[in-house]
Structure 1
């Protein structure tokens, strides 16, 4: 499903990372040689992300309300519980992933997985969801995707204290999410009216992700051993610098 052919910041390159990070709260940027990841802060950045999602969803036969354009992008910026991340190279968006934090409006998954979501919240665990994932490259997507996921994990788990991640996944992609990230299936298959396609609810304990990052992060040569995305994300030392920069930007 994903191929791998991009440059990656070598494990342990903390000084270089520290020197090139840009502070700006949620807009902190993590460079990864051929691409860098940042939060989409402006309406134009969010519009680029929405257009990418719209194109990729349409190519797969999914419905997506991207036609609202600038108005929709502006509304995304006003949604306090939504954070959109983009991976870009020379101004072109290669991939995007949004994080929605649980709040008074709930999560998108509540619409069709109400019972399951209530059960997941029953123990008092803090939930978030990753949504609107789209990639615009044929090469290198494994590393771009891994770093997008890792940055979203940092924002959700390490910064905001979410404990459990939920995603709505097309049934044909379930095996990939299980193998590559450690998700488990939390529901039976249902029709998702937002994209007019079948979906299942999957969830991931962020503690599991943390353990995998500590063991494999920033070591792409271990990809064949781990058989997951985690080696292609940031190393623990790089992650520490990112967290330090995020904390400094909020002071």
Structure 2
């Protein structure tokens, strides 16, 4: 799915004030082979529309139905990865538990409720990534910033995701997700879905072990070596806390 990234450097970008252009408002910039990608929160209609277009394109290509538009939901954080021209090449959303619950409750509530009773849960939804951009580092950056939002800003203990059974191994190998419930029909996308769970404590451990090592993490096939280093992670956490 991804080519090996053999030469890369990661630099922390600036969080822009309102009024600056979309590209300069990135949470963090990822520089790979002289190409710069900005990771940002899609908090204006134009950014959400661009993310929605990418999701619709990639989901249609896979034959998934349903409504893939991203709205202005106070319990949802949508992140995008954009190139230097502002084109969205990747997106995912973190859906926080609330009185309306999670989208996964529609099919898997019986498996989510026990974790909800013990801590705060959330889910990853609406992941789409342009297949022409074969970079583990950019994809890992999206997941890492979502993880920071879940763990450090919203104190979640578990992250769920519904995936098509044929994509299960990607999340197991790349992000240490575990199967929580076997395949069930998912009417939102008119396709089967497996419920996977990621434990925040386990993710924190993996980040401490290998984050920032990239290709030097010999034998580790996951995305965790391409997560930000602990020093870079601390800088991102501080920035996000400053902006609330």
What TM-score does the superposition give when structure 1 sets the normalisation length?
Answer: 0.87
Q: 2:17 and 2:233 mapped to 1: Cα distance?
A: 17
Q: 1:199 to 1:224 in 2, by over 3 A?
A: farther
CA 1:224 to 1:198, structure 2 compared with 1: closer, same or farther past 3 Å? farther
Pair 1:47 & 2:42 matched: no
Query: Alpha carbons of 1:125 and 1:93: their partners in 2 closer, same or farther (altered >3 Å)?
Result: same
Alpha-carbon contact 2:89-2:133 (below 8 Å) kept:
no
2:14 corresponds to 1:21: yes
Measured after TM superposition, the shift of residue 60 of structure 1 is 0.5
Residue 85 (1) aligns with residue 87 (2)? no
Deviation of 1:114 (Å): 1.8
Change (3 A) 1:8 1:97: farther
Structure 1: segments with no counterpart, 5+ residues:
11-15, 67-71
Kindly indicate whether residue 2 of structure 2 is the aligned counterpart of residue 2 of structure 1.
Answer: yes
The number of residue pairs the alignment matches comes to 233
Alpha-carbon distance, 1:119 to partner: 2.4
CA 1:209–1:229: 2 relative to 1, 3 Å: same
2: CA distance, partners of 1:119 / 1:63: 30
**RMSD of aligned alpha carbons:** 1.9
Asked if structure 2 preserves the Cα contact closer than 8 Å seen for 1:217 and 1:230, the reply is yes
> Deviations 1:70-121 (Å, cap 9, x if unpaired)?
xx54xx21x1101100000121111000000000000000001121112222
Deviation per CA, 1:36-62, whole angstroms, max 9, x where unpaired? 100001111001101100000000111
| 1:113 alignment counterpart | 108
1:159-183 Cα deviation digits (max 9, x unpaired): 1101100000111111121111111
User: Alignment partner of 1:189: what SS?
Assistant: strand
What is the alpha-carbon distance in structure 2 between the residues aligned to residue 64 and residue 224 of structure 1?
Answer: 40
Counterparts of 1:178 and 1:213, CA distance in 2: 16
Tell me if structure 1 keeps the 8 A contact 2:179–2:195. yes
1:218 aligns with 2:215: no
Q: Is the 8 A contact 1:112 1:192 kept in 2?
A: yes
Q: Does 1:178 align with 2:172?
A: yes
Deviation >6 Å, runs of 4+? none
Distance 1:208 1:32 in 2: 25
- Which residue number in structure 2 is paired with residue 168 of structure 1? 162
Q: Secondary structure at the match of 2:137?
A: helix
1:194 is paired with a residue whose SS is coil
Q: Does 1:244 align with 2:238?
A: yes
Q: Which whole-Å CA distance do the structure 2 matches of 1:81 and 1:6 have between them?
A: 37
Partner of 2:226: 232
> Would the alpha carbon gap of residues 6 and 47 (structure 1) be closer, same or farther in structure 2, given more than 3 Å must change?
farther
What corresponds to 2:125 in structure 1?
A: 131
Offset, 1:7: 6.2
Unaligned stretches of 5+ in structure 2? 19-24
TM-score normalised by structure 2 residue count: 0.89
